[in-house]
Amino acid sequence: MLDTVKKRNIRHLSLQELEGYFAEMGQPKFRAKQVYEWLWQKKARTFNDMTNLSLTLRAGLSEAFSLPALRVDASQFSSDGTVKSRFKTHDGHLVEGVLIPTEERQTACVSSQIGCSLSCKFCATGYMGRKRNLDYDEIYDEVVLLNQQAEATYGKKLSNIVFMGMGEPLLNYRNVLAAIERIGAPDGLGMSPRRITVSTAGVAKMIKQLGDDKVRFKLALSLHAPNDQKRSEIMPINETNNLKALIEALNYFYKETGNEITLEYILFNNFNDSLKDAEELVKVYRQIPADLVNIIEYNPIEAARFTKPPEATIEQFMDYLSANRVNARLRKSRGKDIDAACGQLANKAS
């Protein structure tokens, strides 16, 4: 463990830096490419996996660098096919990732931080506080491990990735973007950024930054309430990033990138599920270039007071949206028989 902390993480080196290392060792340039491929494309977990390098070179690398990798600590299999995994980091932290299979897709839901600082009142992770950001190689590992699960369980590769697990991706901006770059790179996983959605609780300044950076992935806003008063009650971040600021930022993002925007709205019983709420939601929707509103069934957690509305209320809410030409879809909660709400599994001791 000490070695891992002291030595430089080899996956934090660029290809050019690796070339510099091998040049110093008097080795040909192509060695750097070989190692880079092992690290990102061939998903080596240890230096010993790099079988086209001599034992001496492998020993030299292990002497000079660390290769900390995420590993699966526990998995739960739901009767609906959802697989939730708890991953352990090299320094003993726990984070979660979920594999959500449907007929057409294998979607990985990944975490961006260990815990979260935003304290949303309905979310198990929000009650943990933030421990630290995940590095981009750790986020990459989550995707690799979930892809392996998809292949082993369903014989299919991942088709989509959503950053909807633990943490606020836009508060770990640099690592999330670097991970997405590696996931999309031909010498990484080669997955199109169009198949990736980053979901934010609403950090207006960073949404604009995404626009300035001309990112190619999709964006989802966790709206969850139709006005500032209700939103601030369940999402403290709304006090500094209100709906006006978010609407402006999302319009800017769309103008700069043209990328798809989705609004996420969890229905909470007797809180945001009335026809008046639906009416206000339509008003917000009209001000945002959103393609879709996902109405999400709540998966209750012990720490929160919220419950799911009765079916008739959900139906009435959906009917109102449809009558007002909102492109809305009802998302049924997955993995109800396991701890599939974000933060539930990592919060549990094994």
- The set of catalytic residues is 96, 342
C-beta of 128 vs 288, nearer to ligand SF4: 128
Total residues at interface with ligand SF4 (CB under 6 A): 12
The answer to the question of residue 116 lying near ligand SF4 (CB under 6 A) is yes
* Residue 349: CB minimum distance to ligand SF4, A: 20
| C-alpha–C-alpha distance, residues 12 and 135, integer Å | 9
* Residue 123: CB minimum distance to ligand SF4, A: 3
Candidates 68, 97, 167, 211: give the one binding ligand SF4 (CB under 6 A): 167
Rounded to 10 deg, the angle between the 173-184 and 136-154 helix axes is 50
The answer to the question of residue 191 lying near ligand SF4 (CB under 6 A) is no
Kindly state the tokens that stand for 350.
């094994």
* Residue 324: CB minimum distance to ligand SF4, A: 27
Buried b (16+ CB within 10 A) or exposed e, 272-290: bbbeebbebbbebbeebeb
* Residue 250: CB minimum distance to ligand SF4, A: 17
CB of 321 within 8 A of CB of 295? yes
C-beta of 70 vs 95, nearer to ligand SF4: 95
* Residue 103: CB minimum distance to ligand SF4, A: 28
Closest of 268, 326, 294 to residue 197, by C-alpha: 294
Identify residue 163 by its one-letter amino acid code. Answer: F
Binding mask 66-95 for ligand SF4 (x = CB under 6 A): ------------------------------
The answer to the question of residue 342 lying near ligand SF4 (CB under 6 A) is yes
Three-class SS state of 295:
strand
Candidates 39, 44, 67, 120: give the one binding ligand SF4 (CB under 6 A): 120
| C-alpha–C-alpha distance, residues 229 and 271, integer Å | 12
* Residue 128: CB minimum distance to ligand SF4, A: 9
| C-alpha–C-alpha distance, residues 118 and 130, integer Å | 8
- Residue 130's DSSP bridge partners are 115
| C-alpha–C-alpha distance, residues 220 and 261, integer Å | 6
The answer to the question of residue 125 lying near ligand SF4 (CB under 6 A) is yes
| C-alpha–C-alpha distance, residues 220 and 37, integer Å | 32
The answer to the question of residue 168 lying near ligand SF4 (CB under 6 A) is yes
Three-class SS state of 313:
helix
The answer to the question of residue 344 lying near ligand SF4 (CB under 6 A) is no
Alpha carbon distances (Å) from 62 to 2, 3, 13, 45, 196: 13, 10, 14, 12, 34
Residues in 293-312 that interact with ligand SF4 by CB under 6 A: none
Candidates 123, 150, 234, 293: give the one binding ligand SF4 (CB under 6 A): 123
The answer to the question of residue 166 lying near ligand SF4 (CB under 6 A) is yes
| C-alpha–C-alpha distance, residues 261 and 250, integer Å | 8
C-beta of 18 vs 261, nearer to ligand SF4: 261
| C-alpha–C-alpha distance, residues 1 and 306, integer Å | 41
Q: Which stretch binds ligand SF4 (CB under 6 A): 19-27, 96-104, 122-130, 299-307?
A: 122-130
The answer to the question of residue 128 lying near ligand SF4 (CB under 6 A) is no
What residues make contact with ligand SF4 under the rule CB under 6 A? 116, 118-120, 123, 125-126, 166-168, 201, 342
